[in-house]
Structure 1
Amino acid sequence: MTERIVVVGAALFDGGRLLAARRSAPPDLAGRWELPGGKVEPGERPEGALVRELREELGVDAEPLAPVPGEWPLRPPYVLQVWTARLRPGSAAPAPLQDHDALRWLTPAEVWDVDWLDQDVPAVRATLARWATEARGS
């Protein structure tokens, strides 16, 4: 069995907008956009990794809500799982602290205005489908 390392991405929503983060490194990813997040460490649950990564990368206190159905391959042995999340009351505003040089809050109509990393595109599509379903249910 090959080792599989989970990377958790945050579909961070606030006021009907989704947060996108522009990579500053490594050079082959710099300038493209992703859902912020990072590796799940050994013994860590995905939702705990999400909270930790958003604190480290963006300086925010976030609350994971629910997993987005699906899993997307990254460079082996990595796979991407996405969770919806929201900022906790009183959290600082997100700021690009590590690995990113810009952030954008995107409305549903603006989501495709940024150049997403290829591996994030299917995850963003699944996130949008989930977002639309939840919006109709509320």
Structure 2
Amino acid sequence: MATEILVAHGDRPREGGPNRKQVEVAVGVLLRADGAFLLTSRPAGKVYEGYWEFPGGKVEAGESIEQALRRELIEEIGVTIGAVHPWRVELVDYPHALVRLNFCKVYEWSGELHMHEGQSFSWETLPVRVKPVLPGTVPVLAWFAQERSFEGATHEPAT
């Protein structure tokens, strides 16, 4: 569960006032065997248009995080995913919405990537080349960096 709230653009007014409902979002972190991860750009006409993020979307009434992620990835990028591995949760206070991001790692999928909303995609590694990155995506990049440094530390030869 998220313990802290990431405040994006804190200088901007918040829509809906202090008692806003959380918007539940399922997010897919698609990982290839070589360690690269998929980022997609926000489509034209959406809030934060052109910013880069992990694909996913809102959880509809009656859906689990996994069900929403499966539906969203078919609708958005045209792939059917295999096993879903819940990873981390981040609460982000954007000016337009209070969003609870449920990040799930996905290692297997079928189908060719097809950006149904006219967005772009990029397979990235650290440091990412695409810019700008959506504020809610930034913590994930830090988590990857922590994992990679931990993996490197556990594989060092003993002296």
1:124 paired residue number: 141
1:10 paired residue number: 28
Note the C-alpha offset of 1:62.
0.9
Q: Secondary structure at the match of 2:128?
A: helix
Contact 2:26 2:104 in 1 (8 A): yes
1:31 paired residue number: 50
The aligned runs of 1:1-138 (5 Å cut-off) are 3-15=21-33, 16-26=35-45, 28-75=47-94, 76-88=97-109, 91-98=110-117, 100-108=118-126, 111-115=127-131, 116-130=133-147, 132=148
Aligned amino acid, residue 37 of structure 2: L
Q: 1:44 to 1:28 in 2, by over 3 A?
A: closer
Contact 1:33 1:117 in 2 (8 A): yes
* TM-score, normalisation: structure 1: 0.79
- Tell me the distance in 2 between the aligned counterparts of 1:44 and 1:25: 27
* TM-score, normalisation: structure 2: 0.69
Q: Secondary structure at the match of 2:74?
A: helix
Note the C-alpha offset of 1:58.
0.5
Structure with max Cα Rg: 2
Greater helix fraction, Structure 1 or Structure 2: 1
Alignment identity in percent?
A: 28
Query: CA RMSD for the aligned pairs?
Result: 2.6
Cα-to-partner distance string for 1:82-107 (whole Å, 9 max, x where unaligned): 1101233xx11212112x52111113
Structure 2: runs of 5 or more not aligned: 1-18, 155-159
Cα-to-partner distance string for 1:96-134 (whole Å, 9 max, x where unaligned): 112x521111134xx42112112221133224545x389
Q: 1:84 to 1:135 in 2, by over 3 A?
A: farther
Structure 1: runs of 5 or more not aligned: none
